């Protein structure tokens, strides 16, 4: 099991929050690539923090992404467009899967997938909080660990927060900072070769 999930209500009028879904579509349509710093917290049903992590992420559509965890453990997750690679540096262990099988209706699919968001998720605008406009994305496929994903956008249609609610009642909160849309990203970021001597599990 991954050490960290890669690792997203108050009532109000529909008119007041109709922009949240539009902001997601604007973000997806306008962001062929992106990079950001992130912090991540895993909380239990009562809100108690179980784990925390931080690192950097980049993505390039379709299907290419890189999540690099730096604290408290070093871990690298790479999608090269065809395969999903998870490298646990401390264990010197690599897990590899077909990208489609690994992503499914996952947060990475929302960020790095194609522009047809509503094919994989049922989207719903929900109430504003923390000064952000929020939407709820519920996976249409049952083959996922996530019951729902919440996404908070600022007035510039930038993704600020993702809340990932899993089927066990846990909540993973991802907060993004220094987000850059469409930066030039070198192709080697999305390539991965297992280090010599690493245990490789999967395909």
Apex 141 CA angle, 138 and 146, nearest 5: 50
Task: For residue range 74-85, list pLDDT tens digits in order.
Answer: 999 999 988 989
How much is the average pLDDT of 59-72?
A: 89
> In this predicted structure, what is the pLDDT of residue 26?
81
pLDDT at 2: 41
Contact partners, residue 142, CB within 8 Å, separation at least 6:
none
**What local confidence, expressed as pLDDT, does residue 187 receive?**
94
Task: Give pLDDT, residue 137.
Answer: 87
pLDDT value of position 56: 95
The Cβ of residue 84 has, within 10 Å, a number of other Cβ atoms equal to 25
- Contacts of range 47-55, beta carbons closer than 8 Å, 24 or more positions apart: 47/171, 50/170, 51/3, 51/4, 53/4
Per-domain residue ranges of the chain:
14-202
**pTM for the whole structure:** 0.81
Does CATH number 3.40.50.2300 belong to domain 14-202?
no
Instruction: Report the alpha-carbon distance of residue 28 to residue 190 in Å, rounded.
Output: 19
pLDDT per position as a tens digit, 143-172: 777 889 899 999 888 899 999 998 889 999
Task: Kindly state the tokens that stand for 139.
Answer: 């996976």
pLDDT band for position 108 (50/70/90)?
Answer: low
- The residue ranking higher by pLDDT, 39 or 118, is 39
Q: Give residue 116's Cα distance to chain centre.
A: 16
């Amino acid at each position: 099991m991954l050490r960290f999930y890669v690792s997203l209500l108050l009532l109000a009028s529909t008119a007041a929050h109709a922009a949240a879904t539009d902001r997601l579509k604007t973000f997806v349509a306008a962001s062929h690539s992106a990079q950001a710093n992130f912090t991540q917290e895993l909380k239990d049903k009562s809100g108690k923090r179980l784990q925390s992590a931080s690192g950097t992420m980049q993505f390039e559509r379709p299907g290419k992404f890189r999540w690099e965890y730096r604290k408290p453990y070093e871990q690298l997750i790479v999608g090269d467009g065809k395969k999903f690679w998870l490298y646990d540096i401390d264990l010197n262990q690599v897990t590899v899967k077909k990208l489609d099988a690994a992503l499914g209706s996952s947060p990475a699919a929302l960020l790095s997938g194609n522009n047809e968001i509503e094919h994989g998720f049922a989207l719903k605008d929900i109430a504003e909080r923390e000064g952000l406009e929020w939407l709820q994305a519920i996976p249409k496929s049952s083959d996922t660990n996530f019951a729902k994903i919440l996404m908070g956008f600022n007035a510039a249609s930038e993704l600020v927060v993702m809340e990932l609610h899993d089927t066990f009642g846990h909540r993973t909160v991802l907060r993004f900072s220094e987000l850059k849309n469409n930066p030039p990203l070198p192709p080697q970021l999305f390539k991965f070769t297992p280090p010599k001597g690493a245990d490789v599990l999967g395909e």
